[in-house]
Structure 1
Amino acid sequence: LYAAQAAVHNLLPTEDAATRMFASWMTNVSSPFPSEAALELANDSCRQLHLRVQAVTLHGETVFVCGSTPQLGEWQVARALEMHLEDPATKVWGVKVSAPLHKTLEFRYFIGILLENSNVIVRRWETVRQPRTVSANELTMDRNAAVDMFGNYDGEDKVEPGWLTTESIVHLKMFDNPIVLWKRKYKSVPISYHITPIDLSVRNSDAGPICDESDQHSNTSDFECVKWPVIEIAVMKEQEYEFKKQNQFGNVYAPEDFVIFQAQVMDSSSIAYKVDFYMHRSTDEASIPENIGISYILPGNMQGTFGTCTVPITGTRHQPVGQLNVSYLIIKPLADYSCNCRETYSKFWKKTNRSLDVGHRGAGNARRTDKVENVLENTVASFNYAAKHGADMVELDVQLSKDKVPVIYHDYHICICMKKRKSPLQEEEKLQLAVKDLTVAQLQRLKLSPSVHDSHHYDFREDDLEDNQPFPTLQHVLEAVDPSVGFNVEIKCPMQFRDGTWEMDLNLDINLYVDIILRTLLDYSGKRYIILSCFHPDICTM
């Protein structure tokens, strides 16, 4: 018995746990080995680990660890464990956690913002495909002595921006000479502009403003006055295309630049934006520029998910001195869906020298007639034809029908045949309709006319089998096509031409448009590899 008890002590980390297991063993004296319940108790035993990571954070940001155990949130970022800054000089964050004694602990670090309402905003996270691990046979002393580098492990260094959890994102885009100043003296000197978010819901209460604006036209900006909302800037050119914190006096204006301000907010309808304009009389970076005006972009200026607005620039003497033209985009999170951070294919690509064979719209032609299989593009038959002939992936085009069902079809419009009444020659007239104006049932009942488009011949036939008929739903394609074939899902969305006209009126909130397609993919894609693509930059951002 003493030998058995000593063996148990070697197995378990504490004397109490050993005693409990030994008692459980002795309740079944007929068995020479510990019972399953006793072994389960041993497997559930834990050891204390000290996780430490070196990470550079911005004002208001904190490092979190999320992992496979309940203490680490079981991969749910809302339940992730907050770390503490142990050494400001070396930027090392740490926290003590309990790790299973006989199981591998999996975890990731991410940088986020913890709001007062306990919402966790994911700012940046490690995106090496597999998570970090601490194996059962790794010595506690060695693990506790280690300091991880944020985003760097398994020979890779990958950090990506986070995803939306409960917050929204507002993009304010300035391009094509967006700032117009009427006074000549402003046209010969550098001008910069800085944007500050203003929480109107706080202003309407007794809590006071989020920033001190006792002097709206002072030479000091509201620099780092709060950690939330977050606002960052990116300029669409080399070295500046990644979002970063604004300079104290903002971005120097260049009429040809394409500038995007990104604001992370909880409620876009309660946030206004103050734009300060500064004139730089001196080239000395240490000199303080002069505030020459101010603009306000109010929630009422932004109607709908995207659009444009023009607001006046008011000078220091409260008279208009110019105007500001802004395009905006409001991005909302996918409702009732929680992403976890266990595994990620963000920016992932297999390390191989072999190129991929991708079937364009399936078999590659509008209608494949050069083989025995006579298949039409963007159909189940076409996708399975590509799979049968060795395609790694197929590309398909997705848009929404009138009843908001994702369907597979390339063009925005279709031509249907209309027979003329009382015509002895049975002449047919072609009528063009938008796919978005017909339900799935109506689309699948249509008799379509052959047409020539972009040098492809679209030859629709009534005697085609069901899988070779146009307008299959995305759900049906996900379920009926060989699961070993990956999908490049191109989201069709009308774009604006340079003259201001559109390919087609969407008449649907693009947040809802994208959410419906995403939810279908999440619900029915299974283990199929999916790439999302689109020519519309706002859809790509979303």
Structure 2
Amino acid sequence: MPGQALTAQMSVVPRIVLHFSVEVEAVRPWEYVFVTGSLPVLGGWIPSSAFILFPDPDSARQRWESEVEIGLDPVKFRYFIGYYLHNGKKEEENASFFFCHVNAEQKIKQKMLLLYWGIVKLRNKVMVPFIWVSEASVEDSVFSALLGKDPLLALEPGKNLVSEASLMGKSQNEILLRFHGNPFKFCKKRYAERSYCIKVTPFDLRHREAGSVDDDDNEENQDVMQPILPSYSVAHIAILSSDDPHYREQSPSGDRFKVDSDYFVFRTRSVAVEFLGFRIELFTYDEQNGPSTDRFAIAYALPSSFHGTFGVAGEPLLVNNRPVGQINVEYLFIRPLLTSCWIQKMDISYAKHWKKRQPLEVGHRGMGNSYTKMNAGRENTIHSLNTAAKRGADYVEFDVQLSKDKIAVIFHDFHVLVTVAKRRTPRLESQPPEAANDYHEIAVKDLRLKQLQLLRLEHYKAQTQTKQNYTKVSAEADEQDERLPFPALVDALRQVDSSVGFNIEIKYPMMQKNGLHECENYFERNDYIDIILNDVLESAGDRRIVFSSFDPDCCALLAAKQHLYPVLFLCVGVTTRYEPF
């Protein structure tokens, strides 16, 4: 019947072959190009299930291609570059991720490491995927429906839309080794007068490494054959004191370090930190001839022996197996964020998302400073934040730190004054009533949230400034809940108008140039950041959020643990008003 034939013809869903073809500037031999997207065949935005592309052997450039067959549903996707690591432990389960060169009988648990992701481009242009249609009856309107209102790869010429990836999975760790000031201590003066290049190479302690002090080591517990997949990534260097402070590959003989001038940061990622080691090599540098190709001294750093996740380790420098000095290595461990409220996907990221728009109005601590300036409402309260939103603020800025019971609270200063009643004596009875109390300075981190809300507290400068016209930290008995100090971060996320964005400044004490620390014996950074991030990821919803901090390590942790929200590094300009860090 004609009607049945028409129905059968309409029920045939045309299929489209989507051909991906992208050019990438520099893909190393162990790296691969992937695409992930909104369709199941592209992994559903989960990077470990992404679709792998293959290099075109006939292309003069580094072109990666592949194709998939899809229906007429709209498709969105991102390219990314990554490679695989494994921890070297044999598991009973099959590998979680695919890798074409792994023997299936090994059953090695692999971990994908993302390097860069976003829209991969070369020379300010992107190759839009070619599309073939397997049904000739499909009209041009299908293409507009497939591509959506705007092209998939809408790109402004010259704009970099590629960003570095955050830590993926539960086993990846990022390790930073830093050298600044004068990290060298030599036994002989002539060694100290030389200039040196520094090179850092990671290696696995379970396997023999090339370039060690003793290359003839034949210990039975070390594998002669190197594994197919490493447990660590290549160590890249960022020279923060240079005009180009971005991470890059190291020079063959290292990079020249200028004492009391340069700031070197070496970065690697590992899925087996307990077996990770670093070989630190020094090469002499001559002003006329440049760096020497012969190594002068060597040192070894073992992260498993470091105390804590942040600190400085002094490692002996060896020349011909004899110690000639010491090199101080500052280290920082970045652990992955362990959370059940967020699945690491690649569909949304504002980590590098800047649009041309009008300036934003941001409410500082909500409606302004009230403890040292004469703002009528108490700063950093639910009422202050909501009032700023009602009066047209696009964002509100506030400060977050942890209480003793590890609850993220909103408060600016690291210390408060606790009112303490003096012991009654005949001498005290003859004095004015205000003399019956004294103040004791205590850190916010040493008080539980209930104590912060119940104790009678004053601003830490209350003893040195005029109290009149300044808002007290502690609330009066008849004040509304939204005006109370020390609101929890989750309460602000749930109770403040969702249309206003949050600039969440992460407070973390730092060492000042005058030698005084803002607040010693503070929380470990990874735990500290994880608690705040978990609150945000669980309760933020669709709210616009920006993280900021004066502590550069907190910024590094925030950027490495998540890719949803931008991270801003705050700094103090040339001023005598504040003590510099």
- TM-score interval, normalised by the smaller of the two chains: 0.7 to 0.9
Question: Is 2:496 aligned against 1:481?
Answer: yes
* 1:52 aligned to which of 17, 21, 35: 21
Residue 304 of structure 1 deviates from its aligned partner by 0.7
Distance in 2, matches of 1:530 and 1:335, equals 20
Match of 2:566 in 1: none
* 1:267 aligned to which of 262, 272, 280: 272
Q: Is the 8 A contact 1:106 1:133 kept in 2?
A: no
Question: Is 2:155 aligned against 1:180?
Answer: no
Residue 368 of structure 1 deviates from its aligned partner by 11
Matches within 5 A, 1:289-308: 289-308=293-312
Distance in 1, matches of 2:241 and 2:442, equals 40
Residue 297 of structure 1 deviates from its aligned partner by 0.7
Gaps of 5+ in 2: 87-108, 121-127, 132-137, 145-151, 217-225, 558-581
Match of 2:5 in 1: 5
Matches within 5 A, 1:5-154: 5=5, 8-9=8-9, 11=10, 18=12, 42=13, 46-56=15-25, 57-87=27-57, 89-101=60-72, 103-116=73-86, 117-126=109-118, 153=155
Q: Is the 8 A contact 2:365 2:398 kept in 1?
A: yes
Residue 266 of structure 1 deviates from its aligned partner by 1.2
Residue 127 of structure 1 deviates from its aligned partner by 6.3
Q: Is the 8 A contact 2:394 2:501 kept in 1?
A: yes
Residue 464 of structure 1 deviates from its aligned partner by 2.2
Residue 326 of structure 1 deviates from its aligned partner by 1.1
Distance in 1, matches of 2:276 and 2:53, equals 30
Question: Is 2:254 aligned against 1:254?
Answer: no
Q: Is the 8 A contact 1:450 1:458 kept in 2?
A: no
Question: Residue 254 and residue 451 in structure 1: after superposition, are their counterparts in 2 closer, same or farther (change >3 A)?
Answer: closer
Residue 451 of structure 1 deviates from its aligned partner by 5.9
Question: Is 2:340 aligned against 1:348?
Answer: no
Match of 2:546 in 1: 531
Match of 1:157 in 2: 160
Q: Is the 8 A contact 2:415 2:460 kept in 1?
A: no
Residue 83 of structure 1 deviates from its aligned partner by 1.2
Q: Is the 8 A contact 2:277 2:300 kept in 1?
A: yes
- Supply the RMSD in Å over aligned alpha carbons: 3.4
Question: Residue 494 and residue 59 in structure 1: after superposition, are their counterparts in 2 closer, same or farther (change >3 A)?
Answer: farther
Match of 1:416 in 2: 418
Match of 2:103 in 1: none
Q: Is the 8 A contact 1:368 1:376 kept in 2?
A: no
Question: Residue 530 and residue 278 in structure 1: after superposition, are their counterparts in 2 closer, same or farther (change >3 A)?
Answer: same
Distance in 1, matches of 2:161 and 2:536, equals 25
Distance in 2, matches of 1:151 and 1:112, equals 20
Residue 357 of structure 1 deviates from its aligned partner by 1.2
Residue 268 of structure 1 deviates from its aligned partner by 2.4
Residue 139 of structure 1 deviates from its aligned partner by 9.0
Residue 267 of structure 1 deviates from its aligned partner by 2.8
Matches within 5 A, 1:498-513: 498=513, 501-513=516-528
Q: Is the 8 A contact 1:415 1:432 kept in 2?
A: yes
Residue 5 of structure 1 deviates from its aligned partner by 2.7
* 1:405 aligned to which of 387, 390, 407: 407
Residue 228 of structure 1 deviates from its aligned partner by 3.8
Question: Residue 450 and residue 273 in structure 1: after superposition, are their counterparts in 2 closer, same or farther (change >3 A)?
Answer: closer
Q: Is the 8 A contact 2:401 2:508 kept in 1?
A: yes
Q: Is the 8 A contact 1:228 1:265 kept in 2?
A: yes
* 1:494 aligned to which of 509, 512, 517: 509
Question: Residue 399 and residue 137 in structure 1: after superposition, are their counterparts in 2 closer, same or farther (change >3 A)?
Answer: farther
Distance in 2, matches of 1:188 and 1:3, equals 93
Residue 46 of structure 1 deviates from its aligned partner by 3.6
TM-score scaled to structure 2, two decimals?
0.76
Residue 59 of structure 1 deviates from its aligned partner by 3.8
Q: Is the 8 A contact 2:256 2:285 kept in 1?
A: no
Give the count of matched residue pairs.
487
Partner AA of 1:125 in structure 2: W
- Report which stretch shifted further, 293-302 or 472-481: 293-302
Q: Is the 8 A contact 2:232 2:271 kept in 1?
A: no
Match of 1:314 in 2: 318
Distance in 2, matches of 1:196 and 1:414, equals 46
Residue 421 of structure 1 deviates from its aligned partner by 3.3
Match of 2:94 in 1: none
Partner AA of 1:324 in structure 2: I
Residue 444 of structure 1 deviates from its aligned partner by 1.1
Question: Residue 289 and residue 435 in structure 1: after superposition, are their counterparts in 2 closer, same or farther (change >3 A)?
Answer: same
Q: Is the 8 A contact 1:280 1:289 kept in 2?
A: no
Q: Is the 8 A contact 1:168 1:331 kept in 2?
A: yes
TM-score scaled to structure 1, two decimals?
0.81
Matches within 5 A, 1:357-396: 357-366=361-370, 374-396=376-398
Residue 314 of structure 1 deviates from its aligned partner by 0.5
Match of 1:440 in 2: 449
Q: Is the 8 A contact 2:17 2:68 kept in 1?
A: yes
Match of 1:470 in 2: 485
Distance in 2, matches of 1:309 and 1:420, equals 46
* 1:514 aligned to which of 526, 529, 544: 529
Question: Residue 303 and residue 365 in structure 1: after superposition, are their counterparts in 2 closer, same or farther (change >3 A)?
Answer: same
Partner AA of 1:209 in structure 2: R
Distance in 1, matches of 2:479 and 2:141, equals 65
Give secondary structure in 2 for the equivalent of 1:472: coil
Q: Is the 8 A contact 2:371 2:459 kept in 1?
A: no
Partner AA of 1:106 in structure 2: K
* 2:329 aligned to which of 315, 326, 329: 326
Question: Residue 343 and residue 417 in structure 1: after superposition, are their counterparts in 2 closer, same or farther (change >3 A)?
Answer: same
Distance in 2, matches of 1:331 and 1:452, equals 35
Distance in 2, matches of 1:61 and 1:140, equals 35
